[in-house]
Amino acid sequence: MKILVLGGDGFCGWPTALHLSSAGHDVTIVDNLSRREIDARLGVQSLTPIATMQERIKAWHDVTGHTIRFAQFNIARDNEKLCDLLANTKPDAVVHFAEQRAAPYSMRGPAEKCYTVDNNVGGTHNLLVALTHYSPETHLVHLGTMGVYGYSGAGFSIPEGYLEVDVRDDAGQPQSREILFPTKPGSVYHMTKSLDQLLFQFYAQNDQLKITDLHQGIVWGTQTDHTEMDPRLVNRFDYDGEYGTVLNRFLVESAVGHPLTVHGTGGQTRAFINIRDTVRCIELAIKAPPKQGERVKILNQVAETLTVIDLAKLVASRTGAPIQHVANPRAEATENELVVSNATFQALGLDPLLLDSSLLEETIVLSQKHRNRVDLSMIPARSAWNRDRQQDIDEKSLAA
Ligand code: NAD
Ligand code: USQ
């Protein structure tokens, strides 16, 4: 298949591009390298020393003989380039990772809030318009997030995108409907993924685009079989307070002797998936497109759920790192239950890797190997969700 990977220089996009190329697909990456620019602006670098895109592509060719093409442009701004690429390539599938993906960065201040909305919603809408007019047969596979549901099952498993509701009509007769699961985003970033959902619903209905939206949990791990093939292929690994996600942060913290930074009680339950399963799920999703005219296919891309404190205890038990309960900069429920259905991926054959597997050791070893690259000043999470959260952080740091 001909596949475009938008955001293919990123943490999920790069190993996915390699996985698809290795499986024999004709892969073109589109990326504006904005994540590398944001890192430079924040003064942080990936724990792992990532090569330039040109070096990455050359290394992949050297090692496997496969060619990956690369186009550097902004999908939220360079509409003409996007339309031309789709018109000239007519890809079988487009995998859309190209969004600003950190909740803390999206809450950092006015500029970051506006950037996140403009970039994510603008980019997704440009893509839908370009597909509609220049490549309507293409299957769009988008990376959404569990956060659109708002992490609360309310006594039942979170279904895959749609909720069955019973209502009474004006004559008092019972009627059943299936609606998009009501969204309850917890950050500006998560809100953009909720807005994306509406754009998808409209273009699937109005223009019969084939769209799959993957509501993915927090991705942990770094390497895949392909990124391990050569040091120049190594995947990025974020540990800082803006972009580092919880488990990867705990693993780096343990490697540099920093306490594990549990926000609040750590009673927040979240969904997790290993990066090796992310790439497998995307391939499975590409192979099972919805039919033209069908509603958006929504799949929950998760392996398991766990509380933050249980995650910290797991890492502490492997590494001996101390646990520190820090003021939570986020406005989020202190505790929640979360049960999620991942029935479709299971039916497609996914047997997910779980957290107690040896892959945790692999990431611990990698964190220790690159511990000298860690800037301790970048570990604290400083983006407060609102004034109350900021006050709480200020008071706790004064008291300390
Ligand atoms: P990332 O920041 O590492 O990668 C995103 C890539 O997209 C970057 O290389 C960036 O330069 C590029 N990009 C951003 N805006 C662009 C634009 N307008 N034009 C062209 N390129 C652009 O993020 P990631 O962790 O790989 O996440 C990829 C996708 O998966 C995101 O949409 C994210 O919301 C979703 N996701 C990630 C996780 C996770 O834990 N990392 C979990 C669930 C969902
Ligand atoms: N947390 C801590 N300590 C830390 C960092 C985070 O306790 O040092 C807590 C947070 O308060 C939160 C939970 O861990 O309760 C998860 O935070 P996170 O940064 O790991 O994940 P999140 O902000 O939700 O975002 C990440 C990705 C995002 C993706 C999302 C999937 O950055 O792109 O959409 O995970 S999900 O969480 O399922 O919505």
Taking the complete model, does pTM exceed 0.85, yes or no?
A: yes
- Determine the average pLDDT of the residues in 109-120: 98
Summarize pLDDT for 144-192 with one digit per residue, the tens. Answer: 999 999 987 678 899 999 999 999 999 999 999 999 999 999 999 999 9
The arithmetic mean of pLDDT across residues 53-78, rounded, is 98
> In the prediction, which pLDDT does 398 show?
76
Cα(185)–Cα(176) distance, rounded to whole angstroms?
26
Is the CB of 240 within 6 Å of ligand 2? no
Indicate if the pLDDT at residue 386 is higher than 80: yes
Bridge-based pairing state of the strands 162-168 and 297-301: unpaired
In this predicted model, what pLDDT tens digit does every residue of 295-337 receive, in sequence order? 999 999 999 999 999 999 999 999 999 999 999 999 999 999 9
16, 116, 138, 145: which one is catalytic?
Answer: 145
pLDDT tens-place string over residues 273-304: 999 999 999 999 999 999 999 999 999 999 99
Ligand (nearest to CA of 99):
1
Phi/psi at 6 (5° precision): -85, 125
Residue 153: per-residue pLDDT: 66
Smallest CA separation from ligand 1 atom 19, residue: 74
64: amino acid identity, one letter: T
Please name the amino acid found at residue 261: T
Select from 101, 384, 374 the least CA-distant residue to 239: 374
| Residue in the structure block whose two tokens are 């998936």 | 273
Determine if ligand 2 sits within 6 Å of the CB of residue 389.
Answer: no
pLDDT at residue 381 greater than cutoff 90 = yes
Q: What residues contact 288, with CB distance under 8 A and at least 6 apart?
A: 212, 297, 348
Dihedral, CA of residue 138, residue 144, residue 149 and residue 155, to nearest 10: 90
Task: Return the residue whose CA atom lies nearest to atom 22 of ligand 2.
Answer: 103
Q: Tell me, what's the pLDDT at 397?
A: 76
CA 93/CA 27 separation, integer angstroms = 10
Beta carbons within 10 angstroms of residue 224's beta carbon:
23
* pLDDT confidence tier of residue 400, bands split at 50, 70 and 90: confident
Give the number of the atom of ligand 2 that is nearest the alpha carbon of residue 143: 34
Residue 145 bears catalytic tag = yes
**Which residues line the pocket of ligand 1, CB cutoff 6 A?**
7, 9-13, 31-35, 74-76, 97-101, 119, 123, 143, 145, 216, 218-219, 236, 245
260: its two tokens: 């594990």
Phi and psi at 21, nearest 5°, equal: -65, -40
pLDDT in tens, 83-94: 999 999 999 999
- Does the pLDDT at position 264 exceed 90? yes
d(CA 355, CA 189): 26
pLDDT for 356:
80
Q: Could you tell me if 27 and 16 are in contact, meaning their C-beta atoms sit under 8 angstroms apart?
A: no
Active site residue 396: no
pLDDT of residue 282: 98
Cα separation values, 148 from 22, 197, 217, Å: 32, 9, 11
Mutate which of 242, 270, 272, 306 for ligand 2? The one with the most ligand atoms within 8 Å of its CB, which is 270
Tell me the CA end-to-end span of the chain in Å, nearest whole number.
57
Average pLDDT, the chain: 96
Q: Which ligand is nearest to the CA of 144?
A: 1
Beta pairing class for 93-96 and 139-145 = parallel
103 close to ligand 2 (CB < 6 Angstrom)? yes
